[in-house]
Structure 1
């Protein structure tokens, strides 16, 4: 991009802005649609629940369901008050006693049992369609597409009128913030509209119930039980704090209401009047309204943060295109590319464990048996690391990278189009192979375009990209899973892979001679006895791939004879990866799903882990580069991991879902701090204790061996959970990490001591 002309860079920036703001629009539309549909559904179910109570009161008096008169008058107003209700049915056995329409309709079916004193007498079925709510959301969001165009024009104008190097990033930040704020404000408007719609529907039902008084002119003093009826109606919807009915400003009926809420209800109350002078006032409980609104805005804030991580990573390329050296710019390109290729997998994180569990159960297995299917991805990943490490020395790194992206995208496509057992297993294996090739190719770029002054920060690019991709993918995937479905998420992941395949073509083609020359220069400065027997392996051979793999295995055997390398691998590296795959990616989503936690909340729990890793790693990596030692960070990371497992054990002993999610989120934050202290520093540590002159071979071999934890993580944790239960399993893992951290601190020597031994 250094050679890119200014107008070409500006055009690319404008295109990126349009794509970024469109992403915000899509995310905002999906979240607003989900929230509005939930409000509409709650209103209908509240009305239906009130009708159910009335029917069951009649049933309890001894009247059979088929002899109840007035079902039509009781249920028809529900369908008329909300367009999302396309059909209502009362069924006793095989006989339909009432049906709102005889036309075939499509939608989601909700079934409520109708019970008498002794048994179930029938069911009340409600068929809900989302078509009408979609029309409402589309009417509000379609004008915002014009805002995308206007903000893209503002971006171009801001860039053209400024000569500052960071003008691209500044202009992008401004338009991104304006678009995000606009979408959030739209959500507030739609939320208020949803409350008004809910109040209108409830007021219509109340009017129908009190028709003799409100329409026929009967004196309210001659009708008893109106207050009780309103209070029963209010109790069926916890959000409503008070219902008041007046006629010509005279109160004729009123539900009970807590006295301390009277002064605050006015901030969330809606009045519905008719031409006869009747007024129905629905007051919503302010705490419930604010809690729901805060929940929606929190979801938006997290989603926009995920979008920002993706978009800003690409905009930085434009912002610094004219000031960076060639090596810095390559590192800057690798960062967003690796981020988005990780996002390919992260998009599936909120739905994949449950999906694999379903596949396992459908084929005669158990939910815990899905750990073997889940592990197959990491088997492919681990098995490909050594071959991929040699491939980047033999072939053009860019070709290896693009082959990996293609494999990963093909794996996603297979999941989308075929749900057979063999196809799912092959798809996960291919995806693991592809991600390993991407990882090793990215690592090859990082090692070849970094030096001693920024090696840990270059390793930190991998940590940043992995966790930023997990944050964005988990947030967007959890949201879009509701509208796209599981198969749609798989297709989206494959599409992202196609885009990254094209972006990877902008990276330089690195031949083996470039790596050979650098390796030779480094080799002249340092030797380590542990790798002297295979020193020539640093220089790529022109022989066959099998010969190069044989040399890689020799390097691995040499490294295993280095005690500090083995201690770091067994006490830190492998256990940390086991926690990532076994606890964070496998156990936590499945256990939360069993507790009835929503997909978006599961995604946010996983995001808490990624946020913590991202923040801590960014602070620790430069510190270790200055201090020259990573041992303290590894030992501290193990201790923090033990604490997180203890908190996680306590989380799953709780019954309250809200407290469970909050405690699990805290546990994942602590786990993220632990892995932030370990992920990048451990690479620096093993390279320093093994061989600086063969950094690529050492790092690749370590990355391969630590994947034993990736492969075994889900199986080991799944077996512990099945054998000992949640509490004992997490406590046992906590004890292991505490002991491992202590052993690492006491037994491991400094790199200088071991090198001279």
Structure 2
């Protein structure tokens, strides 16, 4: 019987390990495929757009010379020429300002597919855009070029076949899938041998205790090897995409010169030919040079230079159009030279994106490995489970809270990147509010709802226990995300975000309350926040990736299903002896005063805490200033400053990722340091000083390195603030009388005032004075307040 149970345990561990391997490597594959698809599509569509814009300029030039758009002589021939200039163009259409089709090549009987209703193009672009502003269609992309003659008169629509564009991505996906299957096979054999399935090893506890480290080594090594191979593949596919764009440009430009040759123009003596080539290079940064050559190789016109003869594209220019009666006769060759630096720049950008993808995959691997270890630990015999738990720095409940927080925020943050876009899609006149205000209502309603949940969560936890509060928050958030997934109006989306925000507040406070009742509360709190930020980073990346392929509503529904798994995860931390201990453990932690408070209403006994001057010292001298720095600088001022400095959005995202990484890497170490020190107020002083130093760094350093240093400093400050503020408040006599549940709820609710006021205060400050001066002034004030707190706390704390 024991042998059968042991074998079942090993098989389950093997299947769970392979599941972690498949999820993490698959996640990395999908992220890299999405990155490559965006790059290749953007590159190729830019070539098509260049040709379409050249035709649009010709049409606008004709309208300025008196040709009306509705009866433009030779329009059909011009559209047909554009369609023949590059492979992959399915249809070229001209519509007027009302959306009615005026010209179409190739013509079709039914014009329903090629006719857009008035304003449809702009409405579609407010939804999900493809690269180069292209509109995604069922079978490819549609480029829309506006046509103007002093006022907008219509649009040029170019429908492009998506199959040639996606061919490179599909090839890359097939190769990656083969690598993924091989990695699963090799890792499965290694795991089976390590667990004793191949060797007949009888000891189980030893094998499972090192499973997390083993998975990190095996899967982490696989991810690094995959990343190296992906960079090699990226180099090949980027060169292919650049050559494809050069081919498209060569076809379009070559046909322009062939048209002149057909009209009998001598290109060698044509004035302005060099300027035409220079304009071509100026409009396309991927080109380093262009020249017209005779069949003997003599240069007739040139612009730029040829850095690498191997990276050139040539197009033959013939004397006559091909027909049955006249054959082509080459008179010139158009040669376009690709810029190697453009390829290097693209590869460097891809390497940074791949590094971010690899980091996200490692975070996913780390948290899933911890969850796997938790599941395996629950299946161990009692004596082996006790030994495994004794070797851990955290209790079983804290480990489960970290894993549950990761799973919850993995689903919760899947929609964080597109909620305003979804609101814009669903917009309709709402309560007489302006369009911009109405679009912001879902997020505002979510934040207000979360604030109410923070206030009520303490009383709920005291009455029903933090696990039931966590479960209620999980269900509320899942219902809210599902409502968002089914939303067909702005009102339903707002209601969904209200439910989601309320669930967010309950889960966030339940996780902290459940940790504060354990030993080593500082390390426990930072561990839980590390899991939360890992889930947030992975969830936002997964949601953005899924939104490229499915609808926004489908992503929210996926997040709702993911969140429900947190219910199962948090129950893994329920220790067998916990139910027997019951309320006696709570009585020890909370004291008799807390039991008395529980008999009253939800906010009974709160006034004693609110009248405690030392609580207000923590709140007003450190808590609120640090919270204002978080939202006012990180979420409001920093994105604006980086955008004004023309920093790419991807680089801004990577800088923001540093904040979460501080919680994941430095947070647990700082939490252990807090637990070892008796004087917790020192860490609140450090919180204020680091928050002020953040603003001082941002004021004096305006480059990317300075922004990164400021974010890291702020991240370290918040790593200290999260556990130290709660632990310091709980040492107050009024807090011990009230109980940790209500105390935590009230303090976090009051601290949220700083988060709400942060953007407003920073906005007023940069309006009144220069941003650098405002940051210097506020940074100095925050540092001074932290030093004042340190002095006053020392004076009001009795010596022991």
Q: TM-score range by the shorter chain?
A: 0.7 to 0.9
Contact 2:25 2:219 in 1 (8 A): no
Aligned-pair CA distance for 1:703 = 4.4
CA deviation profile, 1:654-711 (whole Å, cap 9, x unmatched) = 9xxxx7x8876665444334323422332233234558968x9336523432233436
Give the total of aligned pairs. 724
Q: Distance between the aligned counterparts of 1:648 and 1:369, measured in 2?
A: 33
Contact 1:21/1:148 (<8 A) preserved: yes
What is the aligned partner in structure 2 of residue 530 from structure 1?
none
Q: CA deviation at 1:256?
A: 1.0
Q: Deviations over 1:58-90 (max 9, x none)?
A: 556666667765545544354345555433234
Aligned counterpart in structure 2 of residue 365 of structure 1, from 426, 430, 433? 433
**Range moving further from structure 2, 5-14 or 274-283:** 274-283
Match of 2:621 among 571, 580, 588: 571
Residue-by-residue CA offset, 1:505-563 (whole Å, 9 max, x unaligned): 4332686763633344557xxxxxxxxxxx31445x8xxxxx73737634533333433
**Deviations 1:130-155 (Å, cap 9, x if unpaired)?**
45433542243134323322211211
Is the contact made by 2:693 and 2:779 (CA closer than 8 Å) also made in structure 1? no
Match of 2:104 in 1: 99
Kindly provide the CA deviation profile for residues 4-38 of structure 1, in whole angstroms up to 9, marking residues without a partner as x: 82232121111121122222222223222222221
Q: Is the 8 A contact 2:481 2:557 kept in 1?
A: yes
Shift of 1:731: 6.5
Q: Which of residues 92, 95, 119 is equivalent to 1:88?
A: 92
Q: Show the counterpart of 2:540.
A: 474
Alignment equivalent of 1:187, drawn from 229, 234, 249:
234
Matched with 2:717 is 674
SS in 2 for 1:256: strand
Q: Does 1:346 align with 2:416?
A: no
1:112-127 paired onto structure 2 within 5 Å: 112-114=145-147, 123-127=155-159
Mean Cα displacement is larger for which, 678-687 or 708-717? 708-717
Question: Which of 462, 468, 479 is matched with 1:410 structurally?
Answer: 479
Any idea what SS the aligned residue of 2:289 has?
strand
8 Å contact from structure 1 (residues 353, 589) kept in 2: no
For the pair 1:235 / 2:285, whether they are aligned, the reply is no
Task: Give the counterpart of 1:301 among 341, 355, 358.
Answer: 355
**Where does residue 559 of structure 2 map in the other structure?**
493
Do residues 465 (structure 1) and 531 (structure 2) align? yes
CA distance in 2 between counterparts of 1:536 and 1:8 reads: 46
SS of residue in 1 equivalent to 2:415: coil
CA distance in 1, matches of 2:427, 2:265: 64
663-672 vs 461-470, which moves further: 663-672
The equivalent of 2:246 in structure 1 is: 199
Q: Partners of 1:124 and 1:170 in 2: how far apart? A: 54
Aligned residue for 1:531?
none
Matched, 1:697 2:766: no
2:130 — aligned with what? none
The 5 Å alignment of 1:321-400 reads: 321=377, 324-325=388-389, 328-352=395-419, 362-363=429-430, 364-365=432-433, 367=436, 373-385=442-454, 387-395=456-464, 397-400=466-469
Task: State the match for 2:750 in structure 1.
Answer: 708
Extract unaligned runs of 5+ from structure 1.
Answer: 524-534, 542-546
Q: Which residue of 1 aligns with 2:671?
A: 621
Shift of 1:305: 1.3
Conservation of the 8 A alpha-carbon contact between 1:356 and 1:374 = no
Aligned to 2:339: 285
1:598–1:384: structure 2 CA closer, same or farther, 3 Å change rule?
same
Q: Does the alignment pair 1:79 with 2:83? A: yes
Residue 594 of structure 1 and its aligned partner are, at CA, apart by: 10
* More deviation, 418-427/149-158: 418-427
Shift of 1:235: 2.3
User: How far off its partner does 1:212 sit?
Assistant: 6.0
Report the equivalent of 2:120. Answer: none
Which residue pairs with 1:211 in the alignment? 258
The aligned residue for residue 536 of structure 1 is 592
Work out the CA distance in 1 between the residues paired with 2:794 and 2:583: 26
Q: Distance in 2 between matches of 1:121 and 1:433?
A: 49
TM-score where L is the length of structure 2: 0.77
Instruction: Mark the CA change 1:271 to 1:354 in structure 2 (over 3 Å): closer, same or farther.
Output: same
Counterpart mapping for 1:554-565 below 5 A: 554-565=604-615
Q: Do the aligned residues in 1 keep the contact of 2:729 with 2:735 (CA within 8 Å)?
A: no
CA distance in 2, matches of 1:11, 1:372: 44
For residue 15 of structure 1, what is the aligned residue in structure 2? 19
Q: Which residue of 1 aligns with 2:45?
A: 41
Corresponding residue for 2:502?
433
Which of 746, 749, 752 lines up with 2:788 in the alignment? 746
Stretch moving more, 587-596 or 637-646: 587-596
1:272–1:361 CA distance, 2 compared to 1 (3 A)? same
Does the residue aligned with 1:243 lie in a helix, a strand or coil? Answer: strand
Of residues 397-406 and 83-92 in structure 1, the stretch that sits farther from structure 2 once superposed is: 83-92
Residue 240 of structure 1: CA displacement?
1.6
Q: Aligned-pair distance for 1:648?
A: 6.4
* Distance apart, 1:356 and its partner CA: 5.7
Cα distance change of structure 1 residues 393 and 557 upon mapping to structure 2, 3 Å threshold: same
1:721 to partner: Cα distance: 3.7
1:503 aligns with 2:569: yes
Aligned to 2:433, what secondary structure does the other structure show? coil
Cα deviation digits, residues 411-462 of structure 1 (max 9, x gap): 11112222545433332222222123323333344344x42xx331111113
Alignment correspondent of 2:727 = 684
Q: Hey, what's the Cα distance between the residues in 2 that align with 1:714 and 1:690?
A: 29
The residue that corresponds to 1:147 in the other structure is: 179
SS of corresponding position for 1:487 = helix
Q: Within 1, Cα distance between the matches of 2:774 and 2:599?
A: 38
Q: Which residue matches 2:322?
A: none
**Structure 1 length-normalised TM:** 0.81
Alpha-carbon spacing, 1:162–1:512, altered in 2? closer, same or farther (3 Å): closer
Task: Using the TM superposition, give the Cα deviation of residue 294 of structure 1 relative to its aligned residue in structure 2, in angstroms.
Answer: 1.9
- Residues 639 and 752 (structure 1), Cα distance of their counterparts in 2 relative to 1, 3 Å cut: closer
Alignment RMSD (CA, Å): 4.4
